[in-house]
């Protein structure tokens, strides 16, 4: 697209290009990948597990400066550049325990946000208020699919107004439905939301989906342990590295105990040990 004659389509979120595209929405998807993080979700027969990298954010101003400088000098891809620069520019004084991409919405609903953390926190705050109002009004917890639809509707609203911008996150939502059992949904910046047996988001999304398609080919009924270990091994496989327990975050829900919780480093280490012994 020529920026000379078509720059208006590039800048304004409410204007379709002649090809029927909304460029700012497409850029929001790129912002998710530019975070340099990959996340994976897997649904088992009685549980759901989501896994993501626990990476410390980098200085945005320094990051943008280096991106612009290197992009003018070479053909390094934007996503790989962000990934490499992120490793080298982590704040040495930052308390890493304060960094998270996993958010409890209620006691029984969890959300994994991949992308811009500030956008995620804004959405999470609104989501918690909505879930609390639903509980107060109807007297029971907000179902997973209803909550996922609310998140998707909120994201879609941001694509309609000129004074807003799309959220630069992909949200994975997990919970246990009383009738349908374990549920895993993914909501994107365009406002789409779908239920998944397994899914991925972020920098290595397609590679992870290819891996998961092979694992889920025969529709296996994974136990809780198999669900967690499949998600972790998928992340290790696509990123081609063996993680320490402190380098990833794992969120789970189980049918026997539907409360959403984040696994401790000790629990993660047990699963990592089981994976290494199995392989």
The 10s digit of each residue's pLDDT in 8-64 is: 667 677 788 888 888 899 999 999 999 899 999 999 999 999 999 998 655 455 555
Question: Rounded distance, CA 103 to CA 261, Å?
Answer: 9
Q: What is the pLDDT of residue 3?
A: 47
Residue 5 has pLDDT above 50, yes or no: no
HSE, side-chain direction, 13 A CA sphere, residue 15: 9
- Residue 1, in any domain of the structure: no
- Residue 83, in any domain of the structure: no
Q: What is the pLDDT of residue 62?
A: 54
φ and ψ at residue 219, rounded to 5 degrees = 50, 60
- Residue 88, in any domain of the structure: no
Q: What is the pLDDT of residue 14?
A: 77
- Residue 154, in any domain of the structure: yes
- Residue 170, in any domain of the structure: yes
Question: Rounded distance, CA 39 to CA 53, Å?
Answer: 7
Q: What is the pLDDT of residue 106?
A: 98
Range of the structural domain that residue 216 is part of: 37-55+99-278
Q: Which residue has the higher pLDDT, 90 or 1?
A: 90
- Give the torsion sign (CA, 228, 229, 230, 231): positive
Neighbouring C-beta atoms of residue 132, cutoff 10 Å: 13
- Residue 135, in any domain of the structure: yes
Give the CATH number, domain containing residue 180.
Answer: 3.60.20.10
Polymer length in residues for the chain? 279
Q: Which residue has the higher pLDDT, 172 or 91?
A: 172
Number of structural domains found in the chain: 1
Q: Following CA atoms 96, 99, 100, 103 in sequence, which dihedral angle do they give, to the nearest 10 degrees?
A: 130
Q: What is the pLDDT of residue 123?
A: 97
Residue 254 has pLDDT above 90, yes or no: yes
How does residue 215 score in pLDDT terms, banded at 50, 70 and 90?
Answer: very high
- Residue 263, in any domain of the structure: yes
The 10s digit of each residue's pLDDT in 116-136 is: 999 999 999 999 999 999 999
The 10s digit of each residue's pLDDT in 55-91 is: 865 545 555 555 565 556 555 555 555 555 555 455 6
- Residue 3, in any domain of the structure: no
């Amino acid at each position: 697209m020529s920026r000379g004659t078509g720059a208006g389509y590039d800048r304004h979120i409410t204007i379709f290009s002649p090809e029927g595209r909304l460029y700012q929405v497409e850029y929001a998807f790129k912002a998710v990948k530019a975070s340099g993080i990959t996340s994976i979700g897997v649904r088992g027969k009685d549980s759901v597990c989501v896994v993501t990298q626990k990476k410390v954010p980098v200085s945005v101003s320094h990051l943008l400066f280096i991106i612009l400088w290197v992009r003018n000098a070479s053909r390094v891809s934007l996503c790989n550049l962000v990934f490499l620069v992120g490793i080298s520019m982590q704040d040495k004084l930052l308390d890493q325990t304060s960094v998270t991409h996993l958010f409890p919405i209620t006691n029984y609903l969890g959300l994994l946000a991949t992308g811009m953390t500030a956008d995620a926190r804004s959405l999470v705050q609104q989501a918690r208020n909505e879930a609390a109002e639903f509980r107060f009004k109807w007297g029971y917890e907000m179902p997973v699919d209803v909550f996922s639809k609310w998140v998707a509707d909120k994201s879609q609203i941001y694509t309609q107004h000129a004074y807003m911008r799309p959220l630069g996150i992909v949200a994975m939502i997990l919970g246990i439905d009383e009738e349908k059992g374990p549920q895993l949904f993914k909501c994107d910046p365009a406002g789409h939301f779908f239920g998944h047996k397994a899914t991925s988001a972020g920098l290595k999304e397609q590679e992870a989906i290819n891996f998961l398609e092979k694992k889920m080919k025969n529709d296996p009924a994974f136990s809780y342990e198999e669900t967690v270990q499949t998600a972790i091994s998928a992340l290790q496989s696509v990123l081609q590295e063996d993680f320490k327990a402190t380098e990833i975050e794992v969120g789970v829900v189980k049918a026997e105990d539907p409360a959403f919780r984040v696994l401790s480093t000790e629990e993660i280490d047990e699963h990592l040990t089981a994976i290494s012994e199995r392989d």
